Structure formats: C-alpha cells, structure tokens
Amino acid sequence: MADQADLMMADASIVLDGGVVTQLEHYINTLRDMSAALLAICVVTAALRMFVRIKILGHFGLDDGFMLVALSLFIALVSLTYVGTGFEWDYFHGNTVAVSKVVMIQVAQWLNAIYIATAVTIKISLAVFMLRIFGPHDKLQRFITIGVTVISALLGVVFFAMNFTCVISYESHDDEGRCNLLNEFRDISLIWSISNTVVDFTFAVLCMALIWAANLRKRAKAITSVLLSFGSVGAVASILRIIAVNKSGLADDNLQRLEVRFWSNMEAGICISAACLSSLRPLLKSCMERTKISGYYYRRYGQTTKATGNKGTHNGTVVGGPDAGLTVEPKNGGINVQMSVAIESADKQQPHMTIAPIRDDNMV
C-alpha cells in the first residue's frame, strides 16, 4: 500500500528543458483562454437559437435537442480541460502532482473521448436539420446526407474505442515498444478528421444548391446562403487539427498533444456556434420588422429612411402635410409599403402612428 502511494506521487513528475517548459506554459494558457472564450460564445449563440426555435417559430426539433446535448458535452470538455491542464502544469514543471500518472492518462483519454462524442453529436444534429429541409423527392440529397453522416459516426466510434487503449501516454512516442497501436491510432485520427471536413463541406454545398434553386430573390438567397454556410466553418478547424496531428519535429511530444487538443476544442466549439448562428435568420427578420414599426422602412437595396416629414426618397415619394397623414409611395420595382404617420402638432403632442398592411410580392 505504501509502495502504491509512493508511485502515485513519484511517477507524476518530469524534468524538461526550460525552453520546452516555456512553450508548454504558452500552449496551456492559450488552450484555457480560447476554450473559455469559445464556450461563452457557444452558450450565447445556443441561447439565441433556442429563442428563435421556441419563441419565434414555436417549434423545438430533434436537431435542437442534439445541439443542446453537444453543448452540454462541450461544457464538460472545457471543464475537464482546466482539470487536466492543472495536473499537467505541475507535471511539466517537475512538481509533485496530487494524482498519479495513471489518473492523468485517464483524464487525457476522457478529454479526447468527450471531444469525439461532441463532434459526432454535432454532425447528427446537422444531419437531422438537413433531412428536415429536404423533401421526400430529394432522394439523392437525403442519401448523401445520411451516407456521409453514418461514415463519420462509425469512424468516430472506432476512434473513441481506440482512445482507451495504450495509445495515450506521457512517455516519448519514440519508444516503439510502448504501444503497438500508435500508428493505427494516428491514422484513424487523421481519417476521422478528414471525414468531418468532408461532412461540413458537403452540407454547405447541399444547402447552397437548395437555396439557389428556390424561388427567392437574389438578396434573400445570398443572406440565407451566408447564414447556412456558417455551419461549415468548423471544417477549417478540422483541417488545422489534421495538420497538428501530422506535425513532426517538435521539441517534445507533449507540445503536439496540447496543440491537437487545442484544435480539437476549437473544432467542437466553432461547429456549435456556427451551427447556431446559421439558424438565426428568423431573428434577423423579426428585428428588421421591429425597426420598420419604429418609423423606418427598408428600401430596395437595404438602406433605411425615416419617415418624418415632406422629403423625397430614392425609390418613392413621401407626401403629406402637418394636418394630413404621411404616405410612402414607392416607384415601380420598390417595396410595396404603405405607412401613415400623423405629423407631430405644434403643441408637441405624442405622434400617432398607424401601419397599413405591408405587402411585398417579391419579399420572402
């Protein structure tokens, strides 16, 4: 029992070069700060997404449920990141650590496992969303969506299982006798990251093809395409993770492990926030409508003009007087908006506004 206690305290120490320790400190601080910042962004964007789905649209879908699960996993990932890097900080400085190296390895394994689970859950959420926007007649699109998602998920399961073998260690990777699965583990890590990148880009292409084939105005198509393409931003982090996994020549293997962990956290967080941002178009539309009610109307090219008196407009004419209502009459091709506003009288009474029905055959 005493020997085991000695092992718990003695094996969790290491002697590293001062320059390497400085680099490790920088990696740990960057990993912590960026993970915390990204978590805050994820919480805000997820809250906005839930507001849109529940309050504005009145519908909470299965994809929203999976996204909340992914957010919960990401919260656990960031929390465990702080725990793991706390142990590693003492370990890399040669200090006595309160846990054994075995426990440190287990923490590292669960960090990787939670990242894998988070990424797979995000892909499932995106796939459910894609299947909802594609109708029964879009058989090819649905087949592609299901196919790439299943392949990525299966690779994730294999990667998850291999994670709990001998592949994660704080020993040098140059020791080939330590674990005979290192090469296979690195290969499956690369293949799985590549599959995630393919899934993200595939979903982006399918969404844009659907939007540009729809009967929408070009401006509406562009805005919707930009919002939906946010969901593929995580592919950039996936590519950077691939580069980190395949990087060689670092002064210490722990530097590579921390860099891979950094891009893993970035990939998971960026995917969550980007997917949530892509669903906020109804909120933007609602804000525009509220702005119109406040006394502004949107002209054809997106500029705003406040209806406050006898002024000409770019796409229409504002007519009215101090005792008459004010009417905005657009020219041909403009947005068909009619608005009556009582002009503020000389005794500074509160202006009265009435909004006639807004009709625009060209707006979506």
Predicted confidence (pLDDT) per residue in 297-346, tens digit: 444 444 444 444 444 444 444 444 444 444 444 444 444 444 333 333 34
Q: 15 and 148 share a domain?
A: yes
Give yes or no: residues 276 and 301 share one domain.
Answer: no
Q: How many CB atoms lie within 10 A of CB 256?
A: 19
pLDDT of 215 over the 90 cut: no
How many angstroms from the chain centroid is the CA of residue 116? 15
Q: Phi/psi class of residue 234: alpha, beta or left (left: φ > 0; alpha: ψ in -120 to 50)? A: alpha
Q: Specify the pLDDT at position 293.
A: 53
Residue 290 located in a structural domain = no
CB neighbour list of residue 70: distance below 8 Å, 6 or more residues apart: 118, 121, 122, 125, 268, 271, 272
- 316-319 vs 327-330, strand pairing mode: antiparallel
Average pLDDT, the chain: 75
Domain boundary (285, 305, 325) is at 285
Decide if pLDDT at 15 tops 70. Answer: no
**Contact call for residues 245 and 260 (beta carbons, < 8 A):** yes
In this prediction, residue 232 carries a pLDDT of 67
Indicate whether 260 and 315 sit together in one domain. Answer: no
Domain range enclosing 157: 2-285
Question: Which of 285, 305, 324 marks a domain boundary?
Answer: 285
CATH for 20:
1.20.1070
Domain end, chosen from 259, 285, 311, is at: 285
**Mind listing the pLDDT tens digit for each residue in 100-145?**
888 888 999 999 999 999 999 999 999 998 898 888 888 899 999 9
Q: Tokens standing for 96?
A: 């006595």
Whether 351 has a pLDDT exceeding 60, the answer reads no
Instruction: Tell me the pLDDT band of 55, cut-offs 50, 70 and 90.
Output: confident
In a domain, 360, yes or no: no
The pTM for the full model equals 0.73
Q: Taking residues 15-34, what's their average pLDDT? A: 83
Task: Report how many domains make up the chain.
Answer: 2
| Mean pLDDT of the region 245-250 | 70
Q: What is the pLDDT of residues 67-82, one digit of tens each?
A: 999 999 999 999 999 9
105 lies in the same domain as 168: yes
Q: Which among 149, 154, 95, 155 has a CA at the least distance from the CA of 125?
A: 149
Asked if residue 60 and residue 193 are part of one domain, the reply reads yes
Kindly state whether residue 361 falls inside one of the protein's structural domains: no
What is the band of 16 on the pLDDT scale with cuts at 50, 70, 90? Answer: low
Task: Decide which of 308 and 201 is more confident.
Answer: 201
**Domain for residue 266, yes or no?**
yes
